Chains A and B, each alone.
Chain A
Amino acid sequence: MNSEELRRLKRRKMLNSIMHVIFLACTLFGVVVLAILMLDILRKGIPWLSLDFLKNFPSRFPRKSGIYPALLGSLWVILLTALIAFPVGVGTAIYLEEYAEDNKFTEFIKLNIANLAGVPSIIYGMLGLAVFVRLFSMGRTILAAAFTMAILILPIIIISSQEAIKSVPSSLKQASYALGTTKWQTVTGVILPYALPGILTGSILAVSRALGEAAPLIVVGALAYVSFIPKGPLDQFTVLPIQIFNWAGMPKKEFQDIAAAGIIVLLVILLGVNSVAIILRNKYQIRMKD
């Protein structure tokens, strides 16, 4: 190797090292910002966390303030959202992958579902207000909110279910058909059992996205201040992100910290939901290996 080549090699190595550092910095930037944010929230919020905080209603007095109605509201909305979105989403995916013919119309639907997944959530809020609250006269209720959220996460559930269904080996489907089964029997006997972990993972992640959404529910008409416990789908409600948003906007400094406590509660729930998804996915991967 002559000196010219050696110099070029050194330059290439140098560039490589520089890029290495730059990419590391990019990664660290994200991680550090997130860490600072988390630390700040934990520092402010933890002193306010208590059982009373979970059990109390919001109040003018910081000491008495709690998130009980918002917590219940969130649980109600999310439960109903899942109940609506899961069967419809999985049903759509089964139809598109197994029943629908591969024609222009099916192609058109698939394309549009992919596009719908990218529509800003506030648009779904407008839709929910117009269709569920007004047209179907559901009013500003948990039910209307759940339908709105269900529509919002439907594309994600459909797409992830489609992927899971596509991953079912065709050799297994053929084995089932060759035993004299109908399409529906093959769907329930082979396709769904195989695809279920993937479907559940995608659906749970979709639901956890809905947990954190505030914008569409503000439009649909979640209340800013709730002094009662929602008891059924036709009650009015608020949800955690909206409650947090309200506290964060209050002038008293303590309420900023209470908002941080609310964020911690929301994060814990999200973390719990997501870890269920991760556990399912790991179980799924182990089975894929053999």
Chain B
Amino acid sequence: MEAILSVRNLNFYYGDNRALKDINMDIYKNNVTAFIGPSGCGKSTFLRTLNRMNDFIENVKVEGSIIYEGKDIYSKEMEPVELRRRIGMVFQKPNPFPKTIYENIVYGLRKNGVNKKEILDEVVEKTLKAVALYDEVKDKIYKSALELSGGQQQRLCIARAIAMQPDVVLMDEPTSALDPISTMKIEELVLELKKDYTIIIVTHSMQQAARISDYTAFFLNGEVIEYDETSKIFSNPRDKRTEDYITGRFG
């Protein structure tokens, strides 16, 4: 199996608080990898180290390396702006721009110098179809994205991310603010998208991890306790703490 991201001895500090401890992990291409664990254990922090979104937080420190396409993403050779174009992100709360649906999707492309109308039109249609939103919104793509429901907004945010044709899409609890039906649609979408993208998803729902992921990492207090194929994690965990967590004894 081909690793698209290789994390080696990663430590992360908020000031003096060591939020990630010696993390080693290979993320496999065209798979869905789920991060589970109780809240505050560093899942989001780890996710943000993968596209350097932590750079915007003051007073933080990163040690170790994350290899992407043969380069350490924290080395000088890697431009964070370029990295984020290749490793997209979907956030916990849907955060569409207060612009039209169309402009939301093409925002990243425009900023990367793509301005040809035919290309943009095509991308909008293609990505809306890819996130199964096309039929619902095809009559209002020039209306404000804020008029959509929460679930539709989140799918739009996914469309906005994949419009950049990234290699990896990071999702931080993308369904935690959504109703069950919208959640189901997003889960179906994730399964669909893994054909073309590598997906890493943080979730606090173990059922969700079991349903959609190929690999699962269990986090506890900034450490990765166990990382394996999802089926093994859920049927036959090696670590007592993993077992306690997935059987609902804590967290």
Question: Which A residues lie at the B interface, using CB under 8 A?
Answer: 102, 169, 171-172, 174-182, 185, 189-190, 193-194, 287, 290
**Can you list 6 residue pairs at the A/B interface with Cβ under 8 Å?**
A176-B107, A177-B84, A178-B84, A179-B85, A180-B81, A193-B98
Selected from B56, B107, B146, B164, the residue in CB contact (under 8 A) with A290 is B146
In the bound complex, residues from chain A placing their C-beta under 8 Å from that of B98 are 172, 193-194, 287
| CB of B224, distance to nearest CB on chain A (Å) | 24
Total A-B residue pairs with C-beta atoms closer than 8 Å?
Answer: 65
Majority secondary structure of chain A interface residues (helix, strand, loop or mixed):
helix
Pairwise interchain contact A175-B85, C-beta atoms closer than 8 A: no
Pairwise interchain contact B85-A180, C-beta atoms closer than 8 A: yes
As a 0/1 sequence over residues 156 to 178 of chain B, the CB contacts with chain A under 8 angstroms (1 = contact) are: 01001100100000000000000
As a 0/1 sequence over residues 137 to 163 of chain B, the CB contacts with chain A under 8 angstroms (1 = contact) are: 000000010110000000001001100
If A179-B111, A189-B107 touch, whether A174 touches B84 (CB-CB below 8 Å) is no
Q: Is B241 an interface residue (CB 8 A)?
A: no
If A171-B91, A287-B98, A290-B146 touch, whether A178 touches B56 (CB-CB below 8 Å) is no
Pairwise interchain contact B161-A177, C-beta atoms closer than 8 A: no
10 new A-B contacts, CB < 8 A, other than A169-B95, A189-B107, A290-B146, are A102-B58, A171-B93, A174-B91, A175-B96, A179-B84, A179-B85, A179-B108, A180-B82, A180-B164, A194-B98
Q: Is B88 an interface residue (CB 8 A)?
A: yes
As a 0/1 sequence over residues 41 to 58 of chain B, the CB contacts with chain A under 8 angstroms (1 = contact) are: 000000000010100101
* Distance between Cα atoms of A178 and B84 in the complex (Å): 6
Q: Count contacts on B: residues with CB < 8 A to the other chain.
A: 30
Pairwise interchain contact A179-B95, C-beta atoms closer than 8 A: no
Pairwise interchain contact A179-B53, C-beta atoms closer than 8 A: no
Pairwise interchain contact A178-B111, C-beta atoms closer than 8 A: no
* Distance between Cα atoms of A180 and B78 in the complex (Å): 13
Which 10 residue pairs spanning A and B have beta carbons closest together?
A180-B85, A179-B108, A178-B89, A171-B95, A180-B84, A181-B111, A185-B111, A175-B95, A290-B146, A180-B81
Q: Is B14 an interface residue (CB 8 A)?
A: no
Selected from A102, A171, A178, A185, the residue in CB contact (under 8 A) with B51 is A178
* Distance between Cα atoms of A185 and B86 in the complex (Å): 17
Pairwise interchain contact A190-B97, C-beta atoms closer than 8 A: yes
Pairwise interchain contact A174-B53, C-beta atoms closer than 8 A: yes
Q: Nearest B residue to A186 by beta-carbon distance?
A: B111
* Distance between Cα atoms of A290 and B89 in the complex (Å): 23
Q: Is B75 an interface residue (CB 8 A)?
A: no
In the bound complex, residues from chain B placing their C-beta under 8 Å from that of A185 are 111
Q: Nearest A residue to B86 by beta-carbon distance?
A: A180
